[in-house]
Amino acid sequence: MKIIKLPSEIEIGQAVGDMFCALAQQNPQAVFGLATGATPIPTYQRMIARCKAGEVSFAGVTTFNLDEYCNLPEAHPQSYRSFMRAQLFGQIDILPQNTHFLDGNASDELAECQRFDALVEQVGGIDLQLLGIGRNGHIGFNEPDDTFTDGSFKVELTPSTIAANSVYFTEDVPMPTHAMTMGVGSILRAKEIVLIATGSAKAEAIKAMIEGPVDPQSPASALQKHKNVTIYLDPAAASLLE
Ligand code: GLP
């Protein structure tokens, strides 16, 4: 794992945003794996700024998002589809039909996971996968468990994740308890991975991911097995590293 420490989330967003822009310039038909949460927002802002400046086009790019909540209407502002439209897709020239999500409301969950995984394979796999990390070390919504997961699946969220993400929900529409997510195996099949962590709440998960054993109780530690991973950290997220 290549570890890069930068002073703030702004510099990290610029560096990682530039990675996605450079890939789209080299390969206009590139396939991006994308993430939600607060962490990738500066990355998306960089991509938006450079697209608006005419420096890059995403019109030929295909995207797959890591995860989506279950039992949340697609149009709800906290669905990951809505998040991506607001934070990125609605502000760049990507074609909506080229942006793919797991359908958290699918009646046949197994068939939905198979459809999504087959589509990733059909386009030749993910060229560059963006990841954040949960406070408990989750990637996508792969929560700590006894074994590593492989393809996409439906997951029950842990109390830690529910507590962290509940701030985005209200009493009327409470935080969903389940989600659909790409599995750890799906993530590891990406040709290149970039993970961003900012803030002290991520410091323990980062230490376990980098310095701990490969252990499904720290799902992000699986990245130690991938050949092309770059980790971007701000000083707070890196603060517990030896
Ligand atoms: C979310 C997402 C993850 C994300 C993580 C951290 O719930 N499923 O993909 O990396 O939790 O989110 P944040 O960046 O807001 O800290």
pLDDT of residue 149: 96
165 lines ligand 1 (CB under 6 A): yes
pLDDT attached to residue 151 = 98
C-beta separation of 238 from 203 below 8 A? yes
Q: Please say if the pLDDT value at position 174 is more than 90.
A: no
* Cα 98 to Cα 174: distance, rounded to the nearest angstrom: 30
| Residue 40 CA to ligand 1 centre (angstroms) | 9
Is any ligand 1 atom within 6 A of the Cβ of residue 67? Answer: yes
Quote the ligand 1 centre to 132 CA distance (angstroms): 6
- The dihedral through the CA atoms of 32, 38, 43, 46 has a sign that is positive
- Residue 171: the pLDDT is 80
Share of the chain above pLDDT 70, in %: 100
What are the b/e assignments for 171-199, b being 16+ CB within 10 Å? eeeebbebbbbbbbebbbbbebbbbbbbb
Q: Give the pLDDT mean for 23-46.
A: 98
- Is residue 176 lining ligand 1, measured as CB closer than 6 Å? no
Taking the model in full, what pTM does it have?
0.97
Ligand 1 centroid, distance to 39 Cα (angstroms): 7
Span 195-224, average pLDDT: 98
pLDDT above 90 (res 173): no
Distance of CA 21 to the CA centre of its chain: 17
Question: Ligand 1 within 6 A of 141 CB?
Answer: yes
Mean pLDDT (the chain, rounded) = 97
